[in-house]
């Protein structure tokens, strides 16, 4: 505001300069014009006097010889009245040699010197007009005109006419004209200045508004009107800087936003973001800050709150968000992951807090809880993923990966019927790493395809070897949703089977429920194609994901694997028992085999066998080991 006032003042002063210069130039011009006009008046008068009074009287005269009596008489007759009336103040007729041949008062003395430049100029045919000071005359000035006398039509100059004309009347007229001109000039320039002033006022006002809008846009997100990342950082810095005030920085990420965007369009995605922004905003306290960092990522600053208060608030927000939203007539339920970093507990720097909130949030995305408070460095940090990805790329080329196999045992016969291939990373520094250490990073990158390809190749190669040694185990390989979505995956797998001369039914691809849900249409088509070629599909971690019954109905599933969380307490918890029984019934009803994961005791194995479960997998039988070691483990409690 003050800047724009100063800008306006600067404009006003700056425009005064050209106005002033313009005024000065025009005044100067006017004055010069007036002087020239006055001289022109004198020149015109003198021309008339010379041609109409003096020249006719001097016809046939030779001024070098003086005038005849008659010529003198004619000249006096012609000029007497003008001289008497002061229309001409003084008149001299002079030869080129300076001699005064005739004068108004009869004297032959006086007159301009022949060496005067004006006289010389008049002798050379020019008319010279000069304004002279004459204190004794009214007005104080006279016009002196020196011009050649051309008395005949032939154009021959005979002498010089020296005329003095009154200036008072011309001066009065001039004064009148210049006064009018000054007024006009003054008013015109004033009006011009006023217009310039208005323009600069209006311009500065527009600029101010524009600047305000720019400032707002620089700190706010256009879609939701929320503060943007820059504004969030600013506010977070302020909040964190308040000593002794505990609070939280929270990152919020929508879980199914991409799906909405892809299936319902960007318009629906934008609408969803607006709805989410509204719900988050309405759930916050006045001191809290909500910002949109970009995409489907929001952030909160919750000042003056301890961990419990934060948890309570986020629970409410989460519940509020979970309410169904109708977008373009389609009901959508949105869930969000909240990553929480508390300050000062988890850091004093905004960047650090954000990093930790981020880590917590990704942790939550991989787990079952949607609100995760940062819990120390063991939370794999997404930024490490880049390192992991880079290393893994090398690992693939340097063959640092190995496959371990965990047997699946037929609960009726107690025989090993299949093995599940599980990838291990022989990391040069960190030793043998389980999949949980690097698969999340791989899922987020393009590496999943080469990794899956590598695993498939190796598993099929290993299978060929154990087949050669008389083992008839089928092999299960885990594939990601990304693999299924990739066009040509089915052909790729068929190709590998042909390459190794393996019958399709000896390969089982394990897919998580979540993978099936992510892009239902794509994945379902891939499942159908694979099954059509005889390759079995297994639904992994059944019961923890999002598979809907309608999806299962249309898919030819070969195997359903009951998640270990249900199996673990199946002996003690009636709900788990109910679930496991139901899953077994469901799978059998769909024509699928049922495999229980995480079987660690003979009692569980027994219960499962009784419940009708087909196969089991777990530490009871074997940990994942190199295939050569699979058979050496004693199978205990398999058969009753």
Complex with other proteins: residue 123 or 502, whichever CB lies closer: 123
Task: Report CA-CA distances (Å) from 129 to 37, 38, 116, 162, 613.
Answer: 11, 10, 13, 10, 131
Cα 459 to Cα 322: distance, rounded to the nearest angstrom: 42
* Strand 336-343, strand 371-373: pairing: parallel
471's tokens: 């083992």
Cα 59 to Cα 61: distance, rounded to the nearest angstrom: 5
Complex with other proteins: residue 160 or 350, whichever CB lies closer: 160
**Exposure class string for 588-621: b at 16+ Cβ within 10 A, else e:** eeeebbbbbbbbeeeebbbbbbebebbbbbbebb
Complex with other proteins: residue 118 or 558, whichever CB lies closer: 118
Complex with other proteins: residue 79 or 123, whichever CB lies closer: 123
Complex with other proteins: residue 64 or 179, whichever CB lies closer: 64
Q: How far is the CB of 192 from other proteins (least distance, A)?
A: 44
Identify the CA nearest to 248 among candidates 119, 391, 350, 122: 350
Q: Strand pairing partners for 432?
A: 426
Complex with other proteins: residue 158 or 547, whichever CB lies closer: 158
Q: How far is the CB of 195 from other proteins (least distance, A)?
A: 47
Q: How far is the CB of 143 from other proteins (least distance, A)?
A: 22
Q: How far is the CB of 31 from other proteins (least distance, A)?
A: 31
Q: How far is the CB of 130 from other proteins (least distance, A)?
A: 20
Q: How far is the CB of 86 from other proteins (least distance, A)?
A: 29
Cα 500 to Cα 1: distance, rounded to the nearest angstrom: 78
Complex with other proteins: residue 152 or 640, whichever CB lies closer: 152
By CB atoms closer than 10 A (0-12, 13-18, 19+), residue 189 is: middle
Cα 599 to Cα 597: distance, rounded to the nearest angstrom: 6
* Torsion angle (degrees, nearest 10) of CA 490, 496, 500, 505: -20
Cα 561 to Cα 406: distance, rounded to the nearest angstrom: 14
Q: Strand pairing partners for 402?
A: 424
Contacts of 238 (CB under 8 A, 6+ apart): none
Contacts of 103 (CB under 8 A, 6+ apart): 90, 91, 92, 93, 110, 111
Residues of the shown chain interacting with other proteins in the complex, contacts defined by CB under 8 A: 60, 62, 64, 96-97, 123-126, 148, 150, 152-158
Q: How far is the CB of 101 from other proteins (least distance, A)?
A: 13
Complex with other proteins: residue 74 or 506, whichever CB lies closer: 74
Complex with other proteins: residue 63 or 321, whichever CB lies closer: 63
Q: Do the Cβ atoms of 604 and 567 come closer than 8 Å? A: yes
Q: How far is the CB of 115 from other proteins (least distance, A)?
A: 12
Identify the helix (H) or strand (E) that includes residue 292.
strand 289-294
Cα 427 to Cα 406: distance, rounded to the nearest angstrom: 21
397's tokens: 């080329």
Q: Do the Cβ atoms of 134 and 168 come closer than 8 Å? A: no
Side-chain half-sphere CA neighbours of 20 within 13 A: 6
Q: How far is the CB of 72 from other proteins (least distance, A)?
A: 20
Q: How far is the CB of 148 from other proteins (least distance, A)?
A: 5
* Strand 474-478, strand 431-433: pairing: unpaired
Q: How far is the CB of 55 from other proteins (least distance, A)?
A: 11
Complex with other proteins: residue 147 or 622, whichever CB lies closer: 147
Complex with other proteins: residue 155 or 376, whichever CB lies closer: 155
Q: How far is the CB of 165 from other proteins (least distance, A)?
A: 22
Q: How far is the CB of 154 from other proteins (least distance, A)?
A: 4
Task: Tell me how crowded residue 116 is: count the other CB atoms within 10 A of its CB.
Answer: 15
Q: Do the Cβ atoms of 437 and 424 come closer than 8 Å? A: no
Complex with other proteins: residue 64 or 472, whichever CB lies closer: 64
518's tokens: 């992510």
Complex with other proteins: residue 59 or 262, whichever CB lies closer: 59
Cα 42 to Cα 576: distance, rounded to the nearest angstrom: 125
By CB atoms closer than 10 A (0-12, 13-18, 19+), residue 185 is: middle
Cα 64 to Cα 491: distance, rounded to the nearest angstrom: 129
Cα 191 to Cα 18: distance, rounded to the nearest angstrom: 14
Q: How far is the CB of 93 from other proteins (least distance, A)?
A: 15
Complex with other proteins: residue 98 or 545, whichever CB lies closer: 98
Identify the helix (H) or strand (E) that includes residue 43.
helix 2-49
């Amino acid at each position: 505001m003050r800047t724009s006032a100063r800008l306006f003042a600067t404009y006003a002063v700056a425009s005064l300069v050209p106005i002033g210069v313009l005024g000065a130039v025009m005044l100067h011009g006017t004055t010069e014009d007036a002087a020239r006009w006055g001289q022109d008046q004198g020149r015109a008068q003198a021309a008339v006097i010379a041609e109409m009074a003096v020249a006719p009287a001097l016809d046939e005269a030779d001024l070098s010889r003086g005038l005849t009596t008659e010529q003198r008489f004619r000249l006096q007759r012609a000029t007497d009245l003008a001289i008497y009336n002061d229309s001409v103040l003084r008149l001299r007729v002079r030869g080129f040699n300076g001699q005064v041949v005739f004068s108004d008062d009869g004297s032959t003395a006086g007159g301009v010197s022949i060496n005067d430049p004006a006289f010389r100029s008049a002798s050379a045919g020019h008319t010279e007009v000069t304004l002279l000071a004459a204190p004794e005359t009214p007005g104080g000035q006279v016009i002196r005109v020196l011009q050649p006398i051309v008395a005949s039509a032939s154009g021959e100059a005979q002498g010089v006419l020296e005329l003095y004309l009154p200036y008072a009347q011309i001066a009065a007229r001039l004064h009148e004209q210049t006064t009018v001109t000054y007024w006009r000039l003054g008013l015109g320039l004033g009006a011009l200045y006023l217009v310039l002033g208005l323009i600069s006022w209006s311009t500065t006002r527009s600029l101010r508004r524009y600047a305000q809008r720019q400032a707002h846009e620089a700190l706010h997100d256009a879609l939701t009107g929320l503060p943007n990342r820059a504004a969030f950082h600013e506010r977070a810095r302020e909040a964190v800087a308040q000593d002794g005030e505990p609070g939280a920085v929270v990152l919020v990420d929508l879980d199914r936003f991409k799906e909405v965007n892809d299936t319902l369009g960007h318009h629906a995605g934008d609408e969803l973001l607006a709805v989410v922004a509204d719900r988050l905003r309405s759930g916050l306290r006045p001191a809290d800050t909500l910002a949109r960092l970009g995409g489907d990522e929001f952030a909160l600053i919750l000042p003056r709150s301890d961990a419990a208060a934060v948890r309570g608030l986020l629970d409410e927000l989460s519940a509020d968000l979970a309410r169904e939203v109708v977008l373009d007539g389609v009901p959508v339920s949105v869930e969000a992951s909240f990553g929480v970093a508390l300050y000062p507990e988890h850091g004093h720097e905004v960047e650090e807090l954000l990093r930790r909130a981020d880590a917590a949030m990704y942790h939550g995305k991989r787990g079952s809880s949607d609100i995760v408070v940062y819990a120390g460095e063991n939370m794999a940090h997404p930024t490490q993923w880049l390192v992991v990805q880079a290393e893994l790329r090398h690992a693939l080329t340097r063959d640092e990966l190995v496959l371990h196999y965990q047997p699946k045992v037929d609960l009726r016969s107690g025989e090993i019927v299949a093995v599940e291939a599980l990838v291990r990373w022989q990391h040069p520094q960190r030793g043998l790493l389980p999949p949980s250490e690097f698969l999340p990073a791989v899922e987020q990158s393009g590496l999943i395809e080469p990794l899956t390809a590598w695993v498939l190749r190796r598993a099929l190669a290993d299978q060929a070897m154990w087949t050669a040694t008389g083992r008839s185990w089928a092999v299960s390989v885990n594939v990601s949703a990304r693999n299924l979505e990739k066009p040509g995956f089915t052909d790729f797998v068929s190709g590998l089977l042909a390459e190794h001369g393996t019958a399709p039914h000896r390969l089982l691809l394990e897919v998580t429920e979540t993978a099936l849900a992510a892009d239902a249409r794509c994945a379902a088509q891939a499942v159908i194609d694979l099954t059509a070629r005889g390759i079995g599909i297994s639904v992994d971690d059944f019961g923890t994901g999002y598979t809907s019954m309608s999806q299962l109905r249309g898919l030819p599933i070969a195997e359903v694997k009951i998640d270990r969380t249900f199996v673990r307490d199946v002996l003690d918890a009636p709900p788990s028992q109910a679930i496991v029984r139901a899953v077994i019934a469901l799978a059998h009803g769909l024509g699928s085999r049922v495999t229980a994961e995480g079987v660690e005791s003979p009692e569980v194995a027994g219960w499962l066998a009784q419940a009708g479960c087909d196969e089991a997998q777990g530490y009871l039988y074997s940990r994942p080991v190199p295939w050569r070691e699979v058979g050496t483990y004693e199978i205990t409690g398999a058969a009753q």
